[in-house]
Amino acid sequence: MARVVAPGEDITVTELPDGQGGVTQMTGTGATAVAFRAGPKWGCLTSFLDILKGVAAVLVAQAIWPDSRAYLVAGATVVWGHVLPVYHRFVGGKGMSPYLGGLLMIDWLAVPVTTASGMIAGLALGDVLLAYGSGPLFVVGWFAWRADTAHVLYALAVNAVYWWSIRNEVRQIRRQRVEAGLSITEHRRQLWSSMRDGGFWTER
């Protein structure tokens, strides 16, 4: 997608405005990187194709091995392959879109429940990282409650590579939060305003 809409550009590093006059440097080649350069239309299309990748992996595994838990392995490894693609020198996206696609096929109800839980937790604490990216954490508890050990292991495998992929962003956001010196209420207000306005996503 990047070769089509942003030919010749290196999309492996993207500087995103942090809402406080600074930037967060994001590494990876996912939908956000495409959206920042070519607009939300192309970013959403990229994300949609990545979601289909996750859907396809789980469906194919279910079709080939209908009586096994191979679909859980497929759901986890498609995320690992997205984050660490061999054909792109192990520089990929963050894994959220293929994770959501696979999870839709494994337990569709987990998608809205855990995503909403992450959003609520992030808003309550005024934490942008929790608001936008903590859904996978809640999947571990969801499967511990609703399913079995194999599903919990799937959730742990996804979380391992996902949080590893955003480790640099986590450090930057935490440092910016300390430097800003704002209260939780002030962070919450900023986060709510950013979510309402859409930030750079609505500027194109």
Give per-residue pLDDT as tens, 25-75: 888 888 888 988 888 899 999 999 999 999 999 999 999 999 999 999 999
Rounded Cα distance, 201 and 54, in Å: 24
Q: Write the pLDDT tens digit of every residue in 169-196.
A: 888 878 877 777 877 677 667 666 766 6
H/E run at residue 195:
helix 184-197
Rounded Cα distance, 32 and 19, in Å: 16
Q: Write the pLDDT tens digit of every residue in 101-112.
A: 999 999 999 999
DSSP state of 202: G
Q: Which amino acid is at 92?
A: G
Q: Token pair of 42, please?
A: 């192309």
Separation of CA 13 from chain center: 16
Domain count within the chain = 1
